[in-house]
Chain A
Amino acid sequence: MAIQEQAQHLRTDVLVIGGGPAGTWAAVTAAAKGARVVLADKGYCGSSGATAPSGTGVWYVKPDERLREEAKASRYDLGGRLAEHRWMNRVLGRTYANMNQLAGWGYPFPLDDDGNQHRRSLQGPEYMRLMRKVVRKAGVTILDHSPALELLADEHGVGGAAGVNTQTGIPWTVEAGAVVIATGGCAFLSKALGCNVLTGDGYLMAAEAGANLSGMEFSNAYAICPTFSSVTKTAYYSYASFYYEDGTIVEGAGSKRGRSVIARNLMEGKQVYAVLDQAPEHLKPLLRVGQTNFFLPFDRRGIDPFTDPFPVTLRLEGTVRGTGGIRLADELCATDVPGLYAAGDAATRELICGGFTGGGSHNAAWAMSSGSFAGEGAAAYVKKLGADDGSRKLERKSTQPIVEEGKGSVKPSRAAEWVQAVQDEVKPYDRNLFRTGEVMTQSLNRLNGLWNDQREQAIEHTVDGVKAREAAAMTATARWMYTSALARTESRGMHKRSDFAGMDDNQHYRLITGGLDQLWVRPEQVRKEVVIH
């Protein structure tokens, strides 16, 4: 293991934290604007995060007025009417351009009947391998296996971050004119596909630097998943029927609106089985190709999912398929802190989805669009800032002291206990899917206690230290989640209150939250806008 003298110190214009779709688009776009860029990924840029192992549709809509209006309307009500037209317009425009750019970079889109490329979906492994290549070609310095542990800032704003390389043990510091947080959402280590690197780290780091969050009540997405497996691809369950052990049908169960029926049965200890018996014969070979990884677990277990019932569960995807995240203060994805930008699942997606996302397509569009907006914003900010003469006196912003190896105060077993304790508050369907004021208050009180246990603990620059810091980020995320969910005394989007079943027109606003020891929450009006085409 390394000693402190070997610490890596870099100076750059833009530091991007996170190397999934949002981070890579941010890096490439900032570099194209002339910025020097460093990208630090917790795992490996190209394989990390929710996108890389999956296939996803993309909100790719030709610039045709009628088609775009339909696209915007399609999920507007489902999201509780919290999306904004100007943001949807910008994201539709940028996604269209970026998908065409991907074709230019060589992404192998399939061809339609006329021999033109059909640019409606992306295969994660292919997409992210290409993005890594493009990022490298743009001259970006990639730091793999390099989780950030804290941001650095002075009175002018954020000016870098510090972390550790988990493979070499060498601590790193990057001083930067601007930082883009693209660390993804928080799935609470639930082992949803590709999501175990997504522990809310960016939310915590940003909040420690003074950023605010928005829509954290929309953070309780659960995906249908075979009980034995990690593959949380829900789209194909639109072809599923759901059965009990004895072969009788589970009335009302379904992949879209019937997910709560599945949850209620599972809560009562009744195992639910799915089988994709509604898939027409001619579609089966197409489905197999469309999402190769969906079938992988079944093939390896000798299950034919079109004919053999298999047990399912609902796996928590938290904010990864939720919509809450860091509040954006302007159209180039600036946060409320100068020098700090946010993109992808780390940022709030309410601006295009409101309080609900039906999965891939909007999320993929948001990642690539907000990533490139943030890259532009960060590059422009740095240009305005002027040359860095190295005179900034940057402070470390972590609540928990980050210390050298051997000087920490957290045993690995303790961090694992914290993780378990958070999961106990956020995973159960009767706490987080079917929400009530009483139960959430109990959870929040325990989570506040959990935060107090952790906040003074010294975190070391090691693999175990990173895990302890993840536990803190998950704890903080869960607290913002329940603080917002308690304040929204209605049901809207994916946020369902059993004690406030309907939507309340007087609560047609977003909820902004923040704070570390003392949390706060306040409403923010949705922009009243004239719809301009």
Chain B
Amino acid sequence: MIEVISESKCIACNQCVSVCPTNVFERVVDGIPVIARQSDCQTCFMCELYCPVDALYVAPESESVIGVTESELSEQGFMGGYREKVGWGKGRKPVASHEYMYQLSKRSGF
């Protein structure tokens, strides 16, 4: 489930509020959004992908809150890690066009 909105990174663009399919976030006047309905999170990781400044972290656990901290996550390189792999963000190439996509399809049929 969604666990972290980084106060230091968030630019209050509210993109996460817009894109979350299950309406987990809530806009805050003159502030950064908050996680208002955490238990509605379906652990789909879409908010992380759409966050332009890598300020969000979705823990893989879908049923329970783990309680991770931003500093731990930054150390492990997890903040923004998924967006990087998908190849979204300035100067990145989308993974959709990765040559391995074709190689995998050729060799395994996926």
Chain A residues in contact with chain B, CB under 8 A?
42-44, 46-49, 52-53, 57, 107-113, 118, 120-123, 125-126, 144-145, 166-167, 191, 193-197, 228-231, 235, 283, 285-287, 289-293, 296-301, 463
Which of B40, B46, B62 has a CB less than 8 Å from the CB of A53? B46
Question: Can you list 7 residue pairs at the A/B interface with Cβ under 8 Å?
Answer: A107-B96, A113-B102, A191-B43, A197-B21, A229-B60, A286-B107, A290-B104
| Cα distance, A145 to B37, chains bound together (Å) | 15
Collect the chain A residues with CB atoms within 8 Å of residue B82's CB.
292-293, 296
B42 and A194 form a contact (CB under 8 A): yes
Residue of B nearest to A287 (CB): B104
Residue of A nearest to B59 (CB): A300
A230 and B43 form a contact (CB under 8 A): yes
Which of A195, A229, A289, A297 has a CB less than 8 Å from the CB of B98? A289
Collect the chain B residues with CB atoms within 8 Å of residue A46's CB.
19
Residue of B nearest to A120 (CB): B105
The 6 closest A-B pairs by CB, nearest first: A43-B21, A297-B60, A108-B97, A196-B42, A230-B43, A230-B62
B20 and A289 form a contact (CB under 8 A): no
Collect the chain A residues with CB atoms within 8 Å of residue B81's CB.
299
A196 and B96 form a contact (CB under 8 A): no
A110 and B60 form a contact (CB under 8 A): no
Collect the chain A residues with CB atoms within 8 Å of residue B96's CB.
107-110, 122-123, 126
Known A289-B98, A296-B45; contact A121-B110, beta-carbon cutoff 8 A = yes
B38 adjacent to chain A (CB < 8 Å)? no
| Cα distance, A46 to B59, chains bound together (Å) | 22
Closest-CB distance, B100 to chain A (whole angstroms) = 4
A289 and B45 form a contact (CB under 8 A): no
Closest-CB distance, A129 to chain B (whole angstroms) = 9
Collect the chain A residues with CB atoms within 8 Å of residue B97's CB.
108-111
Collect the chain B residues with CB atoms within 8 Å of residue A230's CB.
42-44, 60, 62
Chain B residues 18-35 with CB under 8 Å of chain A are: 18-23
A286 and B49 form a contact (CB under 8 A): no
B100 and A194 form a contact (CB under 8 A): no
Collect the chain B residues with CB atoms within 8 Å of residue A291's CB.
110
Known A145-B23, A197-B22, A283-B108; contact A112-B102, beta-carbon cutoff 8 A = yes
Closest-CB distance, B25 to chain A (whole angstroms) = 10
Collect the chain A residues with CB atoms within 8 Å of residue B9's CB.
none
B102 and A111 form a contact (CB under 8 A): yes
| Cα distance, A167 to B44, chains bound together (Å) | 20
| Cα distance, A289 to B93, chains bound together (Å) | 13
Closest-CB distance, A185 to chain B (whole angstroms) = 15
Known A47-B46, A229-B61, A286-B104; contact A125-B21, beta-carbon cutoff 8 A = no
Residue of B nearest to A299 (CB): B81
B107 and A283 form a contact (CB under 8 A): yes
B63 adjacent to chain A (CB < 8 Å)? yes
A463 and B23 form a contact (CB under 8 A): yes
Which of A118, A144, A300 has a CB less than 8 Å from the CB of B60? A300
| Cα distance, A299 to B77, chains bound together (Å) | 11
| Cα distance, A184 to B43, chains bound together (Å) | 18
Collect the chain B residues with CB atoms within 8 Å of residue A166's CB.
23
- Add 13 more A-B contacts to A126-B94, A167-B17, A194-B44 (CB < 8 A): A52-B44, A108-B96, A109-B96, A111-B102, A112-B102, A113-B102, A145-B23, A196-B21, A229-B61, A230-B42, A286-B107, A290-B100, A301-B60
Known A53-B46, A125-B49; contact A191-B21, beta-carbon cutoff 8 A = no
| Cα distance, A109 to B104, chains bound together (Å) | 13
Closest-CB distance, B18 to chain A (whole angstroms) = 6
Closest-CB distance, B99 to chain A (whole angstroms) = 6
Closest-CB distance, B64 to chain A (whole angstroms) = 8
| Cα distance, A110 to B42, chains bound together (Å) | 30
Contact with A along B39-77 (1 / 0, CB 8 A): 010111110011000000001111100000000000000
Known A145-B23, A300-B78; contact A235-B62, beta-carbon cutoff 8 A = no
B62 and A118 form a contact (CB under 8 A): no
Contact with A along B85-98 (1 / 0, CB 8 A): 11010000011111
Collect the chain B residues with CB atoms within 8 Å of residue A107's CB.
96
A228 and B101 form a contact (CB under 8 A): no
Closest-CB distance, A470 to chain B (whole angstroms) = 11
B18 and A44 form a contact (CB under 8 A): yes
Known A53-B46, A121-B110, A123-B95; contact A110-B19, beta-carbon cutoff 8 A = no
A57 and B110 form a contact (CB under 8 A): yes
Collect the chain B residues with CB atoms within 8 Å of residue A463's CB.
23
